[in-house]
Amino acid sequence: MAEQKLNAPARAQYEIRRSPAGVRKVTEYQDSGYTIVGNHLTQHRSLSGLAIGLAAHIQSLPEGAPVDIRSLAKRFPEGRDRIAAALRELEANGYLERVRRRTDDGRMVTLTLSYNNPQATRARRAREAAEQAKRRTAVEPPPPAPVPAPVRRPPQPDPAPRPSPTPPSPASHLPEPVARAHHAPAAALLANLRRDDPRLLLSVRDINRLTPPVAAWLERGASPDAVRNALTAGLPPALRHPAALLAHRLTEALPPPLPATPPCAPKLPAPPPLRTCDGCERAFRAPAPGLCRDCRHPEPQSKEPPSMKLRTPMGTPAEMPTEMRSERHDDGPR
């Protein structure tokens, strides 16, 4: 009786009862038709039961399935107001995002993004943004040397004639920026040109020489993508001197400076953000979410057709003025 049975199964294989009134799980193998949902959603402290159920239902749907309020109200017995409130809970906690985009024909549509783990998605996006910023700022221009203060000297006679000035080099015609605030992004843009075309691999000397003209473009309001397209579009098949070609394009295609805004121009208030109507899913501008104007004040629809008014023919006493009726009575026989 005191011997230990080595062939007896371990207790972990049996059902473990931690509480006589707790939950018991009966798990069966499912070959297909199941959805993996994290405990961070099913055991969320701030979400309601309807919001957790809607999130699990949306994650089980295939790509492109409609998840608007009207479609969910047809699927579940809850009303539109409760479903709209649950969707707003999911948006506030990061499990749902509704993005408004404009189609090619000019219509505004709502694209719904469902996140199964929003915290992991935010961490991945932050890590990718940090890596991309690190790649852009990989090459930075050297710090400028301090310019010595000019020393005033008394004018001296110049008996010998001065030699004729030498013609300026092509690099002297390159535009120069007013400030040095755009030098770092300009140098990073030049260093990353080799990603668009391997032939645009520039040396450190060429990057330092072309950084001021690119900074001048940025200072005049040109975006980095516009500068990159102007430098890399339509390159010749045989490119021998890439730095000379870039210097030529920076000089010849320099955009004009932006016009100054009038000092007395009134500043218009910013319009309220776009919202999605909880009733008809139409985009409208409002400071807070809710219903649009048509859903708040619906037009009354008459069940009976409008009655046709019978008009009295002209010339009858019903439409004649009082004076004309009295005159007609006086002219008649007595």
- Using the predicted structure, report yes or no on whether residue 238 has a pLDDT greater than 80: yes
136, 192 contact by CB (below 8 A): yes
Closest CA to 298 of 281, 272, 282, 279: 279
- Listed as own residue / partner, the contacts of 293-301 with beta carbons closer than 8 Å and 24 or more positions apart are none
Q: What is the pLDDT of residue 308?
A: 46
The 10s digit of each residue's pLDDT in 182-193 is 788 888 988 888
Kind and range of the H or E run holding 77: none
Task: For residue range 118-166, list pLDDT tens digits in order.
Answer: 888 889 989 999 988 888 776 555 666 677 767 666 666 655 555 555 4
DSSP per-residue codes, 54-69 = HHHHHHHSPTT---SH
d(CA 118, CA 130): 18
**In 3D, which of 84, 59, 88 has the Cα closest to residue 71?**
84
| Position with higher pLDDT, 289 vs 264 | 289
DSSP codes joined into one string, 127-182? HHHHHHHHHHTSS-PPPPPPPPPPPP-------SPPPPPPPPPGGGGS---SSSTT
Give the separation between CA 175 and CA 229, rounded to whole angstroms.
Answer: 19
Q: What pTM does this model have?
A: 0.39
Q: Which residue has the higher pLDDT, 270 or 2?
A: 270
Phi, psi for 108 (deg, rounded to 5): -95, 125
Residue 57, token pair as written in the block: 């239902």
Q: How many CB atoms lie within 10 A of CB 275?
A: 19
* pLDDT tens-place string over residues 192-235: 888 888 888 888 999 888 888 888 888 888 888 888 888 888 88
Phi, psi torsion values for 98, nearest 5 degrees: -110, 115
For residue 255, give every residue at least 6 positions away whose Cβ sits within 8 Å of its Cβ, in sequence order, or none. Answer: 217, 220, 221, 222
Cα-Cα-Cα-Cα torsion 122, 123, 127, 133, nearest 10 degrees, comes to 40
Section 59-81 average pLDDT: 88
Nearest to 250, CA basis, from 278, 228, 283: 228
